[in-house]
Amino acid sequence: MNKQRPSSPSRGRFDGQTWLLLVVNGLFVTAQALSGTFLGVYLWKASGNFVLLGWFTLIGHACMALTFWLAGHEVKRGRKMTVLRLGIASSAVFYSLVLLFGAGAIQYIWLLGIVQGLAAGLFWLAFNTLYFEVTDADNRDRFNGFAGVFGALAGMIAPWCSGLVISRMQADSGYRVIFMTSLGIFAFGVVLSFFLRNRKPEDGYEWRHSLNVLQEAGTPWRKVVPALAAQGLRESVFGLMIGLLVYISTKSELQLGNFTLLTSGISSVSYFAVGRWLKPQWRVRGLFAGALVMSAAVIPFFLGIDFGIMLTFGIAVGLFIPFYMIPMTSAVFDLIGRDEASAKLRVEYIVLRELSLNAGRIVGMLAFIATVNLTRAPLALTAFLFVIGCSPLVSWLLMRPFLAGTARRTEKANPEPA
């Protein structure tokens, strides 16, 4: 029996808790964008070593996956707000350690990776659980659109301001200023989180749920899990490399800030439009369009990597990534909420989703480390990026039957007026 709320004249509207959750998410993303965009550059300047940065990212992903699985127990017991605050506080601890270690931070890469993975796992598990609870099938695409707009605006303004500060100040002083600013934003996010309501605890946490689901015959999760892994595959490699490639090609933090200003600005407009007008029955076509353009955007890398080519890539991805991300996110959470029994296991299903994403991220980063260990030839690295960049098409192929079925059910439930 499906317990999703029926369509109504108020369809798509948000209540106060939904808006507050968007604000808390926006603060977290802003603090991360302010410092995180330049963290890779900061560590790169200290080491000049792709492999070391790869290990830092890999440790973070592995720790994040373990944190999701373990923290699921506490979230299921009704302590999601504590987990959310611990996630924000752990992010503040991470940047405090970066400030403390200074230029020697590269010597503690394993510790930084663990703390960053712990912070991300705690925050996103609690946030995604709250997101599921305050949205439904009627407003989930719209929520994801607004979250994407806030994220894109943060990614547009914060890195540009950071780049401006870093370029105007001497030595590492600019980095210290932006890291300290992030700490303040994290602290404000913790304060606001006290106004979010917590639901009562439910049944006990099922530790083996992820394995049990995949053993079920005919479950759609057997295709959704590898589709999410393909999404994570791209996220890990491109999340590490794009900012670095812009900085390496320009040798300027200000130019990296300009890059994020333009590309994130385009993305914010696209997220708003897609979140507002993309209907559930159009998700399969939207996902294909997003996956195709995101894959094709890597092809110009074969001509050489300079600021113009990176900007072309960034604009194309900024325009079309909402077509990919919104259907992927909304469809998976709709699957979690498909009936009452599934909704009661929402924490376990969210853990399954995150374990799937992180499995892809870990595989992607292991492949990156292996590639740069074998060769630093530009053509080989470009070919590697192209192969990884095509992984959204794998997500589309795997999600297509599920999305097509959802579209048919939606059209029957909500026929177009004659």
Query: Which structure tokens are listed for 319?
Result: 């325009």
168 vs 225 pLDDT, higher one = 225
Q: Cα dist. 24→19, 84, 132, 188, 189 in Å?
A: 9, 10, 15, 9, 6
Q: Is the pLDDT of residue 248 over 80?
A: yes
Residue 6, pLDDT score = 38
CA–centroid distance for 416 within its chain:
34
Give the predicted TM-score (pTM) of the model: 0.87
Distance in angstroms (rounded) separating the CA atoms of residues 321 and 334: 20
219-240 tens-digit pLDDT: 889 999 999 999 999 999 999 9
Q: Is 6 within the bounds of a domain?
A: no
395 vs 168 pLDDT, higher one = 395
37-70 tens-digit pLDDT: 778 888 888 888 889 999 999 999 999 999 999 9
Q: Is 7 within the bounds of a domain?
A: no
Q: Is the pLDDT of residue 309 over 80?
A: yes
Q: Is 56 within the bounds of a domain?
A: yes
103 vs 321 pLDDT, higher one = 321
Q: Is 86 within the bounds of a domain?
A: yes
Q: How many domains is the chain built from?
A: 1
Q: Cα dist. 95→42, 185, 257 in Å?
A: 12, 12, 20
Distance in angstroms (rounded) separating the CA atoms of residues 268 and 55: 31
Q: Is 4 within the bounds of a domain?
A: no
Residue 279, pLDDT score = 80
Residue written as token pair 């991470």: 94
Distance in angstroms (rounded) separating the CA atoms of residues 18 and 131: 8
On whether the CB atoms of residues 14 and 175 are closer than 8 A, the answer is: no
Q: Is 39 within the bounds of a domain?
A: yes
Residue 409, pLDDT score = 56
Q: Residue 323 sits in which domain range?
A: 16-196+207-413
Q: Is 3 within the bounds of a domain?
A: no
Q: Which of 409, 333, 406 is nearest to 136 (CA)?
A: 333
Residue 91: what residue type? S
Number of H helices and E strands in the chain, helices first, is: 15, 0
272-289 tens-digit pLDDT: 888 888 787 888 899 999
Please report, for the domain that includes residue 121, its CATH number.
1.20.1250.20
Q: Is 142 within the bounds of a domain?
A: yes
DSSP symbol at 339: S
Instruction: Flag the least confident range among 7-21, 344-358, 385-399.
Output: 7-21
CA–centroid distance for 352 within its chain:
15
Residues 256-266, mean pLDDT to the nearest whole number: 89
Q: Which of 39, 277, 1 is nearest to 158 (CA)?
A: 39
Distance in angstroms (rounded) separating the CA atoms of residues 417 and 410: 14
Q: Is the pLDDT of residue 340 over 50?
A: yes
